[in-house]
Structure 1
């Protein structure tokens, strides 16, 4: 079972002014699909705080997957992609492209999402937008590939028929 961290990035949620529906939706959906929700946290839109959590969860907790929600738009306080770029060692462009492409089928606003995906060690980090609707749609895109991506990141040579017969 893969260990997951969910990081909600929102000034209003972190101050208790709004309920975090998006982070809870990620927790519920991934748990229903066999992922262990190891940690969940709400933080403000502060680049250094986001960086600290991503590094700690990757390097110390050795999580397999970190999914962020929020802070991916054009608002001056939206800094999740910038923080993530400072943490990841390899970008996984196809994930972010697929999320935007699928989102564009539903709304032209999807092209404004700046979320990225990448790896740090054996941890896959994916940014999702902050709206519950966009999170639901994003998870529908991700679920079919997540276990394969995580197995490959761990170096599993038997995934998808590779390796010895």
Structure 2
């Protein structure tokens, strides 16, 4: 995970949905995240995909496994961030990654409110577990893009600060921000 340049970033993409994990409908959100990353990233990376049901323990345990066992530098979750009883992704994220970065959730809600008034129902957070940044995203592909556009320019520098692998965005698609040294 260190910034040794010897490997590309390992990125976890976790779809959290009772219905999609049971095969009741196709997961469109996980593939939307992968497509986004493929479009904006210029540096090498590999994806660790998961499709799991809602629920505190399952989400928490999957996030811990992706950080500690799979060695992910970044984990992007989709689903489970609303007010429904089984929407426990933020709680599970905080249990797995206790250093919350409130600005991510604030920025995602602010940009989403420009498009839909129900964005105030979102409970998305971002936090890190050691050198692994976890960002909760909404469950709809269009909303995923809106939220990632709002926060992703800060993600590479955040990964630098926590000691994760270095990510570079394609400046023709998205300029990331790193302070001048």
- After TM superposition, the score normalised by the length of structure 2 is 0.83
**Residues 33 and 52 (structure 1 numbering): CA distance in 2 closer, same or farther, change over 3 Å?**
same
Tell me which residue corresponds to 2:94: 85
**Residues 141 and 70 (structure 1 numbering): CA distance in 2 closer, same or farther, change over 3 Å?**
same
- Cα deviation, 1:114-133, whole Å, max 9, x if unaligned, reads 11110100000000111112
Higher helix proportion = 1
Question: Is 1:31 aligned to 2:38, yes or no?
Answer: yes
Tell me which residue corresponds to 1:2: 9
* 1:1-165 map, 5 Å: 1-34=8-41, 36-154=45-163, 160-162=179-181
Tell me the SS of whatever aligns to 1:136. helix
Distance in 1, Cα, partners of 2:69 & 2:82: 29
Unaligned runs of 5+ in 1: none
How many angstroms does 1:60 deviate by? 1.6
Q: Which has the higher contact order (CA 8 A, sep 6+)?
A: 2
Tell me the SS of whatever aligns to 1:160. coil
- Cα deviation, 1:98-145, whole Å, max 9, x if unaligned, reads 000111111111110011110100000000111112111111112212
How many angstroms does 1:147 deviate by? 1.1
**Residues 55 and 155 (structure 1 numbering): CA distance in 2 closer, same or farther, change over 3 Å?**
closer
8 A contact 1:115–1:127 mirrored in 2: yes
Unaligned runs of 5+ in 2: 1-7, 166-177
Which 10-residue stretch deviates more, 129-138 or 30-39?
30-39
